Structure 1
Amino acid sequence: MKNTVSTFAKAKKDGARLSMLTAYDYTTASLVDAAGVNGILVGDSLGMTMLGLPDTLGVTMDDMVHHTRAVARGAKEALVVADMPFMSYHLSCAQATENAGRLVKEGGAQAVKIEGGAQFTPEIEAITRASIPVMGHLGLTPQSVNAFGGFKVQGKSTAAAQRIVDDARALEAAGAFAVVLECIPAELARIVTDAVGIPTIGIGSGAGCDGQILVYQDMLGMFDDLTPKFARRFAEVGALMKQAFADYDACVKDGSFPAPEHTFAAPADTFDGVK
């Protein structure tokens, strides 16, 4: 059955765990979807994993629409959530709603994700008034990397921890249907999870969340530019790919590929008159 925001709400009520992964293209989305994962995030992490940027700040709305459209074609059962990129919702509620609408109308997303706490509750309220579900994102919010001074664990002081709890409550009150908790201490993530009635989706925040999300290239060993401590490698697909590419290269250069079984033939006299 198709996963929806109602699926996520029921999972929280029933104590069922939710799984999410990123995807940025049709092929990967199809594989993730077939595996039974509840939700696919078209993350602005594509700036780093797909476009080779140093962070997520250079990702545009056009980038997000393009990749979301491809993922939506491949996701038959998973809930498709698309990131609102940097500066796509910061200027006004009207701007936020218009850009969220693009991700739904042009991209085919079923929900959008916004980074930030209580300061963005007006934008969340405006987007949800347009009947677009919103997922929040607290803790290490990559769009704030310059303000944080790098990719650092958040919520390590009493005051910072309380702000995250308060922000989670504010996001829920504004209408968010779930919230990502990124790189906060596990005990704080458990406190936030108990404090709100919406699902928490952890990434680097321990097992006390209602669900988990990983960047798919991280969990498959495909991306070595940044290797987060929390990203368990479930397979070494990157190594397999590199070996396959090298084997292909060698076979082309030594003439063993293509072999006769990889080619097409015609009747013997077909080309007799061809000069």
Structure 2
Amino acid sequence: MSQHTQTRRLSVPDIYARKGGEPIVALTAYDAPTAALLDPICDVLLVGDSVGMVVHGLPSTVPVTLDMMILHSQAVMRTSQRALVVVDMPFSSYEASKEQAFANAARVLRETGATAVKVEAGSYVADTIAYLVERGIPVMGHVGLRPQAALVDGGFKAKGRSEHEWQKVIGEAKAADAAGAFAIVVEGVAEDLAVEITTTVKAPTIGIGASVQCDGQVLVTDDMMGRFEWTPRFVKQYGNIREVMREAAESYASDVRARAFPGPNQVYALKKS
């Protein structure tokens, strides 16, 4: 028997069954080393289109392409074994038609080996979710603050803080649920609204700037690790990787300038015959 037993990857039914149970732990991953580190800890790894801002320095998620998402998802899949990997469908890759959405989502799953895709669930997208699920593509929805709609909203603004917005967001959540979404990300909404969505829909909710009462939580890993000087209000920093990297780089620079690196342990000697 092989010494390396393959770990069973969590499935869509596994995540769906967590409704009202053990909270779902989700974080973003965009590269192989990060995925390897987070895989034993997380239930879901989200290859988010936030990669455009976090890794590529873009001003929003709008410029992110399908090819970018596929490239990063392939890296995540190479080193993850346990977590369910979900890939964001980027802006303009699914909105035009159900057929467009299917062709692009199928390409994502085929070229990456990931299990599911995520779409930002505006009022127009419920039919698309149903179309994809019916054809074998698991879909995670996303309601509330939708980063791909930031241009219309004039920035990244919390949702559900007025009666009109409240009804709109909960309507979108119900529609995504009825269409067959196996989970729904609830981002940047009033806490009471997040609780109402969670108690109303059958699918588990995964909060980000929502409520502790959601069925799980997700954060952008780089925000949570303290990689950036500024983070959104809803982020709790669990580390300070920015400071660790800065101190390490300064120590390295100091050693190089003092000719203290490389030392005897970092160089090679001539082999004696």
Q: Which residue identity is paired with 1:16?
A: E
Paired residues for 1:186-225 under 5 Å: 186-224=191-229
Q: Which residue identity is paired with 2:9?
A: K
Structure 1 residue 130 displacement after superposition? 2.1
Matched, 1:163 2:161: no
**1:206-256: CA deviation from partner (whole Å, max 9, x where unpaired):** 2111000000000000023x5100110001111101111111111112111
Q: Which residue identity is paired with 1:46?
A: V
Paired residues for 1:70-81 under 5 Å: 70-81=75-86
Q: 1:235 aligns with which of 239, 242, 262?
A: 239
Q: Which residue of 2 aligns with 1:5?
A: 12
Q: Which residue identity is paired with 1:88?
A: S
TM-score by length of 1: 0.94
Structure 1 residue 129 displacement after superposition? 2.0
Q: Which residue of 1 aligns with 2:5?
A: none
Structure 1 residue 72 displacement after superposition? 0.9
Q: Is the 8 A contact 2:31 2:72 kept in 1?
A: yes
Structure 1 residue 188 displacement after superposition? 0.7
Q: Which residue of 2 aligns with 1:131?
A: 136
Q: 1:43 aligns with which of 41, 48, 70?
A: 48
Structure 1 residue 193 displacement after superposition? 0.1
Q: Which residue of 1 aligns with 2:250?
A: 246
TM-score by length of 2: 0.95
Query: d(CA) in 2 for partners of 1:141 and 1:4?
Result: 25
State the percentage of identical aligned residues: 43
Query: d(CA) in 1 for partners of 2:141 and 2:18?
Result: 17
Q: Is the 8 A contact 1:19 1:39 kept in 2?
A: yes
Q: Which residue of 1 aligns with 2:91?
A: 86
Q: Which residue identity is paired with 1:146?
A: L
CA RMSD of aligned residues (A): 1.2
Q: Which residue of 2 aligns with 1:22?
A: 28
Superposed structure 1 runs of 4+ greater than 2 Å apart: none
Structure 1 residue 117 displacement after superposition? 2.8
Query: d(CA) in 1 for partners of 2:89 and 2:271?
Result: 58
Give secondary structure in 1 for the equivalent of 2:124: helix
Structure 1 residue 3 displacement after superposition? 1.4
Query: d(CA) in 2 for partners of 1:166 and 1:184?
Result: 14
Matched, 1:255 2:263: no
Give secondary structure in 2 for the equivalent of 1:24: coil
Structure 1 residue 198 displacement after superposition? 0.4
Q: Is the 8 A contact 2:121 2:176 kept in 1?
A: no
Q: Which residue identity is paired with 1:28?
A: T
Q: Which residue of 2 aligns with 1:273?
A: none
Query: d(CA) in 1 for partners of 2:50 and 2:151?
Result: 16
Q: Is the 8 A contact 1:117 1:170 kept in 2?
A: no
